Structure 1
Amino acid sequence: MLESARSRLKAWTVAGIGTAAAIAVAGVLGAFGARHEPLPVLAPASRIDTGEWLLRPLKAYVTAEKYAYGTLLKPGGKALVLELEMTNRTAKSTKDYFDVLQASPATVDPATKPFIVLTRDSTMSPELHPGMPERMAYIWQLPDGAAAPASFGLTVIRKTYKPRDNLYGLPGWFNPTPAGTLTIAVGAGPDSADIQP
């Protein structure tokens, strides 16, 4: 009986030491595995391929006008506007562009989603047709009392096309991942010059 108790105690001790060692090794490997390569820095005037979209930033500015491309701003508020050329690279019309750009939380409240407008007629969130470049405006309401930034950062999100997804076996754009970061200078107003390549 005593020998049996000793055997069990020895087995538990060895198991405990083994578990602690496994946890320690996993922690060390996890710490090294958590290191990520920095994202590529994208040129502000470059054409950026996100899979679904070809983007070309044109200009950014802050406006305190009552309307920005038909979008009503809060009284006394300001909006950060980014104009860019967007080309739909897919085979059908889509408006899957709401998450292709993520503004830096240092400039814009992450909970604030931009209004997205077609600049030529102020249509809100239109579907864009394949192969037709369109000038679009992303409009973020700035926090009350915020000063106009000299520049702001964006993360560009890329998706991958799959002819068949794992769940429904249908084609689509999946796996959004950061493609790179972009820093855009902010001009003095809507009449600011476009970014020159």
Structure 2
Amino acid sequence: MLENVGSRLKAWLVAGIGTAAAIAVAGVMGAFGARHEPLSVLAPAGRIETGQWLLRPLKAYTAEGESLYGVPLKPGAKALVLELEMTNRTAKSTKDYFDVLQADQATVDPTTKPFIVLMRDSTLSPELHPGMPERMAYIWQLPDGAAPPASLELTVIRKTYKPRDNLYGLPGWFNPAPIGTLKLPVGSGSDTADIQP
């Protein structure tokens, strides 16, 4: 009987030490896993491929006015504008571009979504057709009294195509993930020159 008690005590000790070791290893791995590699810095004048979209940044500037490309701004409000060329690389018309660019928190309020406008006719949030480059404007209204930023910092998001998703077995673009950061100088007014490649 004494042998039985000794065996059980030994088993509990081994299990306790094993559990403590496993917790310690998991903690260390978690600490190292929390470290993320910095995102690559994307060339402002280059073309950026995001899966669904081919982007070419053109210019960033601040503007004032009650109606900028038909976007209803508060009287006297300032807006931060990003002009870029977007090409739909998919087989269908789509407007799945709202999250492809995320403005840095220091530049604009992250809860503020931009207005997105087709510049040639001021259509808000249009579907873009496959293979047709279109000049688009992303417009963020700046908070009252905010000084215009010297630069616009963006995170570019890529999605991956899957012929069958896990839930419905349908094709689509999934798994959004940042691919890099983009920093553009901010000019004053729409006469700001385009970035040269």
Query: Counterpart of 1:21?
Result: 21
In 1, Cα distance between equivalents of 2:132 and 2:38: 33
Q: Which residue in the other structure is 1:184 paired with?
A: 184
Q: Does 1:78 align with 2:78?
A: yes
Shift of 1:33: 2.4
Secondary structure of the residue aligned to 2:12 is helix
Q: Deviations over 1:146-172 (max 9, x none)?
A: 101110210000111111112222111
Q: What residue number does 1:148 align with?
A: 148
The amino acid of 1:40's aligned partner reads S
Instruction: Kindly state the Cα deviation for residue 6 of structure 1 after the two structures are TM-superposed.
Output: 5.5
> What displacement does 1:77 show?
2.0
Runs of 4+ in 1 over 3 A off after TM superposition: 1-14
Aligned residue in 2 for 1:100: 100
Residue 47 of structure 2 is aligned to residue 47 of structure 1: yes
Deviation at 1:9, TM superposition (A): 4.6
Instruction: Please name the residue that 2:35 is paired with.
Output: 35
| 1:26 match: secondary structure | helix
Q: Deviations over 1:48-106 (max 9, x none)?
A: 10010000001111112111111111233211110000000000100000000000001
Structure 2: stretches of 5+ with no match in the other structure: none
Partner amino acid for 2:99?
D
- After TM superposition, the structure 1 stretch with the greater mean CA deviation from structure 2, 79-88 or 166-175, is 166-175
SS state at 1:178 partner: strand
Superposed CA offset, 1:89-148 (max 9, x none): 000100000000000001111111111010111100000000111000001111221101
Q: Secondary structure at the match of 1:28?
A: helix
- After TM superposition, give the deviation of residue 4 of structure 1 in Å: 5.5
Q: CA deviation at 1:32?
A: 2.0
TM superposition score normalised by structure 1 = 0.93
Give the AA of the match of 1:97. Answer: Y
Question: Bigger CA drift: 2-11 or 134-143?
Answer: 2-11
Q: Is the 8 A contact 2:61 2:189 kept in 1?
A: yes
Task: Note the residue ranges of structure 1 that are not aligned, 5 or more in a row.
Answer: none
Pairwise CA distance, 1:45: 1.1
3-state SS in 1 of match to 2:15: helix
Displacement of 1:15: 2.5
Q: How far, CA to CA, are the matches of 1:43 and 1:117 in structure 2?
A: 24
Moved more, 70-79 or 92-101: 70-79
Counterpart for residue 113 of structure 1: 113
Total equivalences in the alignment: 197
